[in-house]
Structure 1
Amino acid sequence: MAVTCRRLHDEPGPDEGTLVLVDRLWPRGLRKADAGFDEWAKTVAPSTELRRWYGHDPERWTEFRRRYRTELDEPERAGALDHLRALAHRGPLTLLTASHEVGISHAAYLAELLNG
């Protein structure tokens, strides 16, 4: 599997495959007509409570990953994660996020999980 992630607002690269937005909230400043991705998998995103607690604080990254992994075991999120896994088995998959800190975002952690 080849799963990558990038910021939604960045220019797409070559051979990104299926593009999936993995944020719970619709990105500010983006019209749906200009979205440019294949799917919106908002159910795989962290809960509002976890997202607010984390706040992309690098010191909380390890604990965020632990808590988010627990959330991903919930049935609805587990199903969404399985769907992403199925997409990744079909070909390249790029997870998109509006986060400014992609390297410490839930999208990065999802890519890590999906890549095994």
Structure 2
Amino acid sequence: MVKILLKRIYEEPSEADGYRILLDRLWPRGLKKEDAKFDEWRKEITPSKELRQWFHEDKDRHWEVFQGRYGMEIKQNPDFIPFLREIEKHPVVTFLTAAKDVQHSHLPILKEVIEDFEKNKS
């Protein structure tokens, strides 16, 4: 099973990060493309534009519902299984976001869905 780490894109990369994937629909503010250190950018596995905008209206109030809605979006996303197959090729993968609070972003939700999927697969 792949080890998944979560980080902000603005943090310095480390060798322990393994394969680094930017998982934001929008390009991170203030970051020049030539300065960004990641292996691939996967917008299609991020929350939909509508869900992201709704969540940002009131993050504290919407957090619990957002977790459930994004979890459903992931499971219904036709790009989810190909994404899983891709990350399984790497022993360590770091999911990157520009969100200030990584633990209250979409990354831990995606990580949990992947881990649950992997557990139920075996």
If the TM-score is normalised by the length of the shorter chain, which range does it land in?
A: 0.7 to 0.9
Q: What percent identity do the matched residue pairs reach?
A: 36
Show the 5 A alignment for 1:4-83.
Answer: 4-55=5-56, 57-74=59-76, 77-79=77-79, 81-83=80-82
1:7–1:100 contact (8 Å) kept in structure 2: yes
Structure 1: where are the runs of 5+ without partners?
Answer: none
Residue 86 of structure 2 is matched in structure 1 by: 87
Once the two structures are superposed, residues 88-109 of structure 1 have per-residue CA deviations (whole angstroms, 9 ceiling, x without a partner) of 3221011000000100101121
In structure 1, the partner of 2:119 is: none
Contact 2:74–2:110 at 8 Å: present in 1 too?
no
The Cα shift of 1:31 comes to: 1.4
RMSD: 1.7
**What amino acid sits opposite 2:32 in the alignment?**
R
- Sort the Cα spacing of 1:84 and 1:92 in 2 relative to 1 into closer, same or farther, 3 A: farther
> 1:52 & 1:8 partners in 2: Cα distance?
20
Q: Deviations over 1:27-51 (max 9, x none)?
A: 1111111111000000111111111
Q: Specify every segment of 5 or more residues in structure 2 that has no aligned partner in the other structure, as ranges.
A: 117-122
Distance 1:65 1:35 in 2: 28
What secondary structure, in the 3-state scheme, does the structure 1 residue paired with 2:88 have? helix
Residue equivalent to 2:120 = none
TM-score, scaled to structure 2: 0.82
Amino acid of the residue matched to residue 7 of structure 1?
Answer: R
Distance 1:15 1:83 in 2: 24
Structure 1 counterpart SS, 2:78: helix
Count of paired positions? 113
Radius of gyration: which is bigger?
A: 2
